[in-house]
Amino acid sequence: MCGRYSVAVSVKDKNNKASKVARLLEEFQAPARYNAAPSQLLPVVTADEPEKLQLFSWGLLPNWANDRSQTNKPINARAETLLDKPSFRGLVSRRRCLVPADGFYEWRKTAAGKVPYRFLLKDEALFSFAGLWDEWTDPETGEVTESFTIITTEANGLVRPTHDRMPVILSPDAEAAWLNVTNGSNMLRDLLQPFPASEMKSYPVSALVNSTAHDAPQLTVPVAEQGNLFG
């Protein structure tokens, strides 16, 4: 699964003119998030408005929900069963989105307890998760709530020792293909695959990432390099 991630634009990303998500994050002046968590408003790019960055709530509130307080708001959707579940099948054909990120966290079980690890690309560049979104309208007030879920797939060789699932990471070419809602199920099977482990890296980070009360750049630093960063 994917329950925490980070998204911040670096100098390297700003200089990468080919990165669409970096350009949109910069234009929108989206605040950096180093410990993004469910229920928070986080940046997405939808197939409907591919040149606009929007802030949606993480945790899908489907349009058919009875009320906003519905407890089942999936933060993840399994790639293998997207077309089997009514709650996701309709969204695949019309409401796809990109979820900008620069890394995600998973917790590895050890003899000393669970240790948080950060997973990112080897060049530490921004990328996008494949996502789905929906909007729910309050029948009494007309207020619209827009929300999203991140698609997951089986873990690659790098992630597997920590967790058996990982978010679907899209290459720049795959981003455009994912946002093209005319691409059918055969194309989707090719897109929603584990990202190559050879193009990623990971390292343990501070246990402070366990709490959403902490949201600082130091959370993304390898624990071996942190020293007294948090005072």
- So which residues are the catalytic ones? 2, 106
Amino acid at 222: P
Contacts of 224 (CB under 8 A, 6+ apart): 203, 204
Closest CA to 95 of 143, 60, 141, 55: 60
- Residue 187 phi, psi dihedral angles, 5° rounding: -65, -40
Which residues, in sequence order, are bridge partners of residue 152? 78, 167
* Token pair 């959707």: residue: 77
Closest CA to 100 of 165, 56, 160, 39: 56
- Structure tokens given for 158: 């790098």
